Amino acid sequence: MVLVSGGAGYIGSHTTVELIEAGYDVVVADNLSNSDMSGVEGVRKITGVEVPFVQVDCCDKEALREVFKKYDFDSVIHFAAFKAVGESVADPMKYYRNNLLSMMNVVDLMREYKRQNIVFSSSATVYGEAEELPVTEQTPRQAATSAYGNTKQMCEDILRDAVTAYEGLKGIALRYFNPIGAHPSALIGELPRGVPQNLVPFITQTAAGIRECLSVFGNDYPTPDGSCLRDYIDVVDLAKAHVVAIERMIEGKNKAKYEIFNIGTGNGVSVLELVESFQRVNDLKLNYKIAPRRAGDVVAIWADTSLANNELGWRAERELDDTLRSAWAWEKNIRGIK
Ligand code: UD1
């Protein structure tokens, strides 16, 4: 059995589906601070399984303890965290308190209740503006430029130190590149609250007429078309990486108590290429304009995925075109667009 903290959210719900389809029992814990029950409901519709759900804030250790007492999971996938970069700069303590405390509570309780395996959802943000591309897991981390980014680095360190020191614990940090798209059923997907900060939800909301115009942040970067390059990873592929990571630890195939894997496609795609592809595959015209650069953006980053390919036996499978179709299918579904 696997505890998925933050399992009602975007990546958490997709991972819950993949775990169930791989034969795992799952319990979802989420405080619904940035999600709602539609994610859990979507998982039920897709899998036909009524996943146990506990509304709990992982920062509330005594409440979280009840989940550990009640459910006999051996593994935890820890997603529960805040993730808005700009907000974290404006209110860093909110991010440090939430993201660090929840991580520490999960690790403490895993020790106390003798649960073995933990996967932590880290981010390519830890690499900052890397000196060499693509980035490998050995590429040095750069000093974080946001509290959000800093919490990802600090949580990686907490996990590394804890699993190294304490017997019976193993951990894997997955460094996600840019997760996009939705489940092929269009029953779960990304559901940002308020104005989307990330590119693909902004694109789909613009296509749906909710946003007037997409701003492409910068076309004067030193890249082939002047817009930034990212490694856009399909959310279902990303979800499957979690299943493989859990399996690796359960089967004792891990080579160290703490391991890190990049989870991306290995391709750098520009913002303008992504916009063009979205229009082409969905046969629509997107209202967009070139806008000034966004503060804090890195120019280019994409993953060297050889470690995940060779060690985990995992690789990204879904074509970008299909992922972009799924993103639009999901947006249409939630907006009731035919
Ligand atoms: C951002 C965070 C990263 C976090 C990730 C989570 C920053 C600097 N980084 O990554 O730490 O892990 O989200 O999902 O915020 N873009 C536009 N117009 C838009 C929105 C985005 O042109 O309206 C461009 C951005 O300039 C960037 C690309 O699209 O070049 C991707 O942006 P985004 O989806 O926000 O992801 P990241 O910035 O890569």
Q: Is the CB of 168 under 6 A from ligand 1?
A: no
> Which H or E run includes 7?
none
In the predicted model, what is the mean pLDDT of the chain? 98
Report how far residue 294's alpha carbon sits from residue 68's, in angstroms, rounded to the nearest whole number: 42
**Could you read off the pLDDT of 300-312 as tens digits, one per residue?**
999 999 999 999 9
H-helix segments, the chain: 10-21, 37-47, 61-70, 85-90, 92-95, 101-112, 147-165, 199-207, 235-250, 271-282, 306-307, 320-335
The pLDDT score that the predictor gives to residue 192 is 95
Average pLDDT over residues 250-279: 98
Clarify whether 148 is annotated catalytic: yes
Report how far residue 261's alpha carbon sits from residue 246's, in angstroms, rounded to the nearest whole number: 13
The pLDDT score that the predictor gives to residue 246 is 98
Report the separation in Å between the CA atom of 14 and the middle of ligand 1, taken as the mean of its atom positions: 21
- Of 95, 148, 258, 288, catalytic: 148
Q: Is the CB of 152 under 6 A from ligand 1?
A: no
Task: Give the percent of the chain with pLDDT over 70.
Answer: 100
Report the separation in Å between the CA atom of 198 and the middle of ligand 1, taken as the mean of its atom positions: 5
The pLDDT score that the predictor gives to residue 120 is 98
Q: Is the CB of 83 under 6 A from ligand 1?
A: yes
Report the separation in Å between the CA atom of 63 and the middle of ligand 1, taken as the mean of its atom positions: 34
The pLDDT score that the predictor gives to residue 112 is 98
Atom 29 of ligand 1: nearest residue by CA position: 199
**Could you read off the pLDDT of 183-213 as tens digits, one per residue?**
999 999 999 999 999 999 999 999 999 999 9
Report the separation in Å between the CA atom of 7 and the middle of ligand 1, taken as the mean of its atom positions: 23
Atom 5 of ligand 1: nearest residue by CA position: 178
Average pLDDT over residues 13-28: 98
Q: Is the CB of 8 under 6 A from ligand 1?
A: no
Report the separation in Å between the CA atom of 2 and the middle of ligand 1, taken as the mean of its atom positions: 30
The pLDDT score that the predictor gives to residue 189 is 98
**Could you read off the pLDDT of 47-93 as tens digits, one per residue?**
999 999 999 999 999 999 999 999 999 999 999 999 999 999 999 99
Q: Is the CB of 197 under 6 A from ligand 1?
A: yes
> Which H or E run includes 76?
strand 75-78
- The number of beta carbons lying within 10 Å of the beta carbon of residue 269 is 18
Q: Is the entire prediction scored with pTM above 0.95? A: yes
**Could you read off the pLDDT of 94-134 as tens digits, one per residue?**
999 999 999 999 999 999 999 999 999 999 999 999 999 99
| Residue pair 124/231 in contact by the 8 Å Cβ criterion | yes
Query: Quick one: which atom of ligand 1 is closest to the CA of 179?
Result: 14
Report how far residue 189's alpha carbon sits from residue 253's, in angstroms, rounded to the nearest whole number: 32
Write b or e for each residue in 36-48: b if 16 or more Cβ atoms lie within 10 A of its Cβ, otherwise e.
eeebbbbbbebbe
The pLDDT score that the predictor gives to residue 117 is 98
The pLDDT score that the predictor gives to residue 20 is 98
Query: Quick one: which atom of ligand 1 is closest to the CA of 291?
Result: 22
Query: Quick one: which atom of ligand 1 is closest to the CA of 294?
Result: 26
Q: pLDDT-derived band of residue 317, with 50, 70 and 90 as boundaries?
A: very high
Average pLDDT over residues 277-296: 97
Q: Is the CB of 122 under 6 A from ligand 1?
A: no
Atom 18 of ligand 1: nearest residue by CA position: 216
Q: Is the CB of 85 under 6 A from ligand 1?
A: yes
Report the separation in Å between the CA atom of 199 and the middle of ligand 1, taken as the mean of its atom positions: 6
Atom 25 of ligand 1: nearest residue by CA position: 217
Among 126, 202, 294, residue to substitute to test ligand 1 (most atoms within 8 Å of Cβ): 294
